[in-house]
Amino acid sequence: MWVILSSFFVTLLYMTAVFFAWRAAATARTPQGSVAWVVFLLSLPFAAVPLYLYFGDHRFHGYRSARREAKQVIASIREHAASYAPAKDSSPVNFAPFEYCAHLKVLRGSDVRLLIDGPETFEAIFAAIDAAQSYVLVQFYIVRDDALGRAFQEHLAAAARRGVRVRLLIDSVGSMRLPESWCETLRSEGVEVIDRDSARGPRFRFQINFRNHRKTVIVDGNIGFTGGLNVGDEYMGRNTLFGRWRDTFVELSGLVVPQLQLIFAEDWHWATGEILAQELSWSTATAARNANGLIVATGPGDLSETGSLLYFSAIAAAKRRLWIATPYYVPDIDIATALHHAALRGVDVRIMVPDVIDHRIPWLAAFAYFDELRAAGVRVYRYTDGFMHQKAFVVDDTLAAVGTMNLDNRSFRLNFETMALFFDASFAQDVATMLERDFADSYELTLDLAEQPALIRYGAPLARLFSPLL
């Protein structure tokens, strides 16, 4: 009897592996991802089938329906495009590839302020929430029930008690450890908190892909925030394992704020079915800085590979300088090739990654790419003053961006991400100055993979095998 049952389950496992292999070949977003999954599933089904349930790389169709249903919101944003188009000679960068990724137009009339690390970021966010008069829209990937999480909770509750309408959208996977009691406390104060059990999208670890990795705060449609920080004590540098948490947010005003608000409205509509167009303000004043800005939101709901294309467009635009800060470097072939080509063209290409380990497999996988980068002339810096989690880049003196997108396959294809782009010399200088300080807290990698300790030397090539899945 035991032999019969064992044979049945083994047969069922192999049939499942074959089905998953077919599904991976039909739906994975890259040929590399298809090949990796097919080989893994057919050769090691005992390990691959459970992992495919977690990490299976399928195209995500439902979000496109939510976007179509929110057409009236999109139309109200696009009304600004003709009236506030940038002057033709205001930037040497071709806007078209970036506008294609965003499905929106670059607009003048915006301002942006760098917020460096947790204390400065949350001081600005809490001040904006405390000054809210009409509504507050909040979205974070991770929210924790700790000191920062409870302070965050109190500021939202206080705004609701003043009569401000507060909506909170949290990712069910990223915040799966957040107690429901934390959410209920806010609901009792009148805050509309997304119901993680009824919302569409991933809710548990067998739906780990298609995570909403965005971090957004919008106040009264006039002030917006986005960047790399989540709501938790480690993001304030209070975790003894990581020490200082090096991260960046931006505070936005002017005409890019309605674009950021549009992304929140789409996400809220996807999660709840509620259309917010008539309840929000879409007419904000232009900012004195009058910078050209664009919010690029990417994700698996897009018909093309907009995450990868965004970085490719930035790399292609670089003529003199391309500096990138990313906590994870696991690129696809197109991005790796573009970086090599930029360096060979004579562009000063620098990639800054953390020396501290956060997630071991992507940390190891990055080492398998560094030899090729350095051989082409790319300089790799490893940040040592704590853990670096910021996602930022600067191109020449003309373009800079801060947001939520890592330079890896997961951010490019599996997560919903947001980047705030500014085609503005002043902001580009601000970001360059910030990154120069970070380079000073880093060391330049000079060792080849063959010279690294055994764990890295042997682990990196193995970890790279999973790069299409990370």
Pairing of strands 165-170, 321-325: unpaired
Q: What are phi and psi of 225, to 5 degrees?
A: -140, 140
For residue 179, the one-letter residue type is: P
Catalytic hit among 220, 267, 332, 438: 220
Catalytic hit among 80, 213, 269, 340: 213
Q: Catalytic: 80?
A: no
Count of residues making up the chain:
470
Catalytic hit among 80, 215, 269, 340: 215
Q: Catalytic: 88?
A: no
> What is the Cα–Cα distance from 205 to 47, expressed in whole angstroms?
16
> What is the Cα–Cα distance from 308 to 315, expressed in whole angstroms?
11
Q: Catalytic: 155?
A: no
Q: What are phi and psi of 459, to 5 degrees?
A: -80, -35
Tokens 């299409």 locate to 468
> By the 8 A CB rule, do 168 and 191 touch?
yes
Q: Which residues contact 80 (CB under 8 A, 6 or more apart)?
A: 105, 107, 255, 258
Q: CB atoms < 10 A from the CB of 133, how many?
A: 12
Which tokens belong to 139? Answer: 């979205």
**Residue 60 three-state SS:** coil
Q: Catalytic: 391?
A: yes
Q: Catalytic: 213?
A: yes
Catalytic hit among 117, 145, 396, 438: 396
CA 145 → CA 149, 150, 182, 229, distances in Å?
5, 6, 7, 15
Q: CB atoms < 10 A from the CB of 42, how many?
A: 14
Tokens 């892909």 locate to 209
> What is the Cα–Cα distance from 164 to 161, expressed in whole angstroms?
7
Q: Catalytic: 71?
A: no
**Residue 254 three-state SS:** strand
CA 89 → CA 43, 254, 354, 423, distances in Å?
57, 21, 38, 12
Catalytic hit among 267, 332, 391, 430: 391
Active centre residues (catalytic): 213, 215, 220, 389, 391, 396
